[in-house]
Amino acid sequence: MSGRDKKDFKKRKGRDWVSLILSLLLAFFIWLVHNLSNDYSAYLRFQVKAVTNITGHQPEAVADEILLVRGRATGFYIIRNNRRGSVPQITLEIPPDFFTPIEESSDRFSLTANELKDKLSAALSGEINIDFIETGTLTFTFPEQSHRKVPVNPLISVIYKKQYTNVGDIAISPDSVLIYGNTEDIVNIRSVNTLPVNLANVDKSIQGVTGLETIRGVRIDSEEIRYFISVDRYVEVSGWMSVEVINLPSRHSMVLIPSRVKFTARIPFTAKNDDIFDDISLTLDYNTFKLQRSSKVIPRLERGDAEIYSYSLDPPMIEAVITHDR
């Protein structure tokens, strides 16, 4: 064998060894990926971050204990979960009634870890099948936070179809919310507005959901407000009515200017128009009038059995004068 042939033989031999090593590495990699893709039973650790809504407390806290569960997961997941110096955190939304106050502290709460099994399974769906939970109890610290209850102000604009109107006020739920924040941030907040709702050409009762306006530095315990507007068809009736003074002492008299006003009302379309004025009256209560400083007063409508959606008076106010003692 010539020197050149020996050199070519060594090169081929070297290439064969490289190919063999690469083939072995590739085979090992395929074997490793295949095995790590299989499911195995193992103990897994988690740090639980709870998000809840306990009245008077901040909404988030991390458990003091590490949650230990036994379940089945892929080899990749098990290796990732058990890396040294790292415990993966999982965030769970937990109802307030899951927590039990700890007597020694006003901001410490505990829960039975096993109650979280369904929530853990949902949060880890596709990654781990939980067999059971080893940890017995988890404890959390939710610091107390300044809060107050304020009404919700619905910013709802409604344009009704001709001869249709609302029946009663707009109903909202909840009608008040708890706001949380620094005392100086919430002390002057008197109400919380909904996001604007604009409705047009409405001719039937309607319901829906809207959000709340955000306030910087303030947390609100509700995110959505449900509203309901009762709507009906109406007919308008009008007529002149006298104002009657009630609770007038025997030795007193009153002069009303004017003594008669024009009454205009919206009533159900199906109501009998002729009967309404037999069931209603306009009154002025002497006992109420004598406590006020102004001589102007709005007559009070006594509805009786009449169903009236809304009404107006012309003039809207009258003047009352106590003339003399008898």
Residue-wise pLDDT tens digits, 110-132: 999 888 888 888 887 767 778 88
Whether 205 is in a domain gets the answer yes
206 shares a domain with 287: no
pLDDT tens by residue, 223-263:
999 999 999 999 999 999 999 999 988 878 888 899 999 99
Within a domain: 49: yes
Quote the CA–CA distance of 187 and 215 in Å, as a whole number: 13
- My answer on whether 273 and 313 are in the same domain is yes
Q: Which amino acid is at 30?
A: I
CB 234 within 8 A of CB 163: yes
- Residue 290 pLDDT level (bands cut at 50, 70, 90): confident
- Residue 200's pLDDT is 96
Average pLDDT for 289-296:
87
Cα 107 from Cα 143, distance rounded (Å): 5
The band of 29, judged by pLDDT with boundaries at 50, 70 and 90, is low
User: Is the model's pLDDT at 325 over the cut of 60?
Assistant: no
What percent of the chain has pLDDT above 70?
Answer: 82
Asked if residue 94 lies in contact with residue 119, where contact means CB atoms within 8 angstroms, the answer is yes
Q: Which of 188, 208, 229 is the last residue of a domain?
A: 229
Same domain, 125 and 65: yes
- Among the candidates 141, 176, 196, a domain finishes at 141
Q: Give the containing element (helix H, strand E) for 27.
A: helix 3-37
Q: Say yes or no: 256 and 216 in one domain.
A: no
Whether residues 89 and 119 fall in one domain: yes
Of 76 and 190, the one with more pLDDT? 190
| pLDDT score at 270 | 84
Most confident segment among 2-11, 15-24, 296-305: 296-305
Q: Please report where in the chains the tokens 């106050």 appear, as a residue.
A: 101
pLDDT of residue 122: 85
Q: Work out the end-to-end distance of the chain between its first and last CA atoms, rounded to an integer number of angstroms.
A: 151
Distances (CA, A) of 313 to 155, 163, 174, 262, 277: 27, 19, 34, 6, 14
pLDDT at 164: 95
Looking at the fold, whether 49 and 133 belong to one and the same domain comes out as yes
**Could you tell me the residue range of the domain that residue 122 belongs to?**
38-141
Query: Could you give the CA distance from residue 177 to residue 221 in angstroms, rounded to a whole number?
Result: 6
Query: pLDDT digits over 171-216, tens only?
Result: 999 999 999 988 888 989 999 999 999 999 999 999 999 999 999 9
Distance CA(50)–CA(93), nearest Å, equals: 6
Maximum mean pLDDT: which of 65-74, 174-183, 271-280: 174-183
pLDDT for 75 equals 56
What type of residue is 46?
F
- Which of the four pLDDT bands, split at 50, 70 and 90, describes residue 9? very low
